[in-house]
Structure 1
């Protein structure tokens, strides 16, 4: 079993409905707030921009700002 540090940032490849772990870690960082998002709690991301978001509200705000 691959062990990761409790504070290590994972590197992911985001797809339209799932993500692939490229580098193991315990969390990713929200592209807008910088807040740590545990991988098991990650629900919002952009496959187009390859970014993770901490909440639906933050994701919507980011995507509207980029339009």
Structure 2
């Protein structure tokens, strides 16, 4: 991922996400870390937020 990469806008569903605006990463809602889309594993459907790790998702109440 290049430093100038563009953030994606996603719609988070129960077992997948839909890309609304193409990009190469999203930003973790708790830590601010950039998450490449191919590494995104944790998110909250109700909050529509991505998380970098399972621990951060748990802390957020995802």
Determine which structure has the larger helix proportion and give its number. Answer: 1
Point out where structure 1 has 5 or more consecutive residues left out of the alignment.
1-5
Q: What is the CA–CA distance in structure 2 between the aligned matches of 1:26 and 1:18, rounded to whole Å?
A: 16
Question: What is the root-mean-square deviation of aligned Cα atoms in Å?
Answer: 1.2
Within a 5 Å distance, the mapping from 1:21-40 to structure 2 comes to 21-40=19-38
Q: Indicate the structure (1 or 2) with the bigger Cα radius of gyration.
A: 1
Could you list the runs of 4 or more consecutive aligned residues of structure 1 that deviate by over 6 angstroms after TM superposition? none
Q: TM-score, normalised by structure 1?
A: 0.84
Q: Is structure 2 residue 54 aligned with structure 1 residue 56?
A: yes
How many residue pairs get aligned? The number is 59
